[in-house]
Amino acid sequence: MATITLGGNNISTNGTLPQVGSTAPDFTLLKADLSHASLLDFKGQRVVLNIFPSIDTDVCATSVRNFNKRATELNNTAVVNISRDTPFAQKRFVTDEDLENVTNLSDVNTGKFGKDYGLEITDGPLAGFHSRCVIVLDENAKVIYNEQVPEIAQEPNYLEALKTLL
């Protein structure tokens, strides 16, 4: 269990992030067209998992924009945004923002991704949502970077995350 904050108030998650050097757990999540995607779909690519509570908040939206701008300039790198938002909300955001280089996946049905990755918020007003995290994987789904942002309202450390891919 990790302790993070929301507006300076302590909240908890259900576990800890996959550790650097470990293999990331597989997942099955919903795409915008309601088909399924899994980690295996990104086999052979480096993957930036940008995880957040909701696309409809300023900081979450900013992280999607920033990773779209920065990480997608890197070769053989996929940016995957994951939240508990519906696929429809995620698609609306990408369309409204005219983003082309990111993949949004939804954990709305079961929340299993959040539980398996140890980042589900377990108490407070965001209970059941994902905490803000970045997990970077190499071509073999090995974790090469992880960050659980200590205050939900803060942005992740984009440069530290992307530095692992240079």
> Active-site positions?
60
Nearest-angstrom CA–CA distance, 157 and 161 = 6
Amino acid at 108: V
Q: Is the dihedral of CA 44, 45, 46, 50 positive or negative?
A: negative
Amino acid at 61: A
- Taking alpha carbons only, the member of 29, 5, 125 closest to residue 84 is 29
Task: For residue 38, give the H/E element and its range.
Answer: strand 36-38
The encoded tokens of residue 8 equal 């300076």
DSSP symbol at 159: H
The encoded tokens of residue 55 equal 């696309």
Concatenating the DSSP letter of every residue in 106-133 gives E-TTT-HHHHHTT-BB-SSTTTTSBPPE
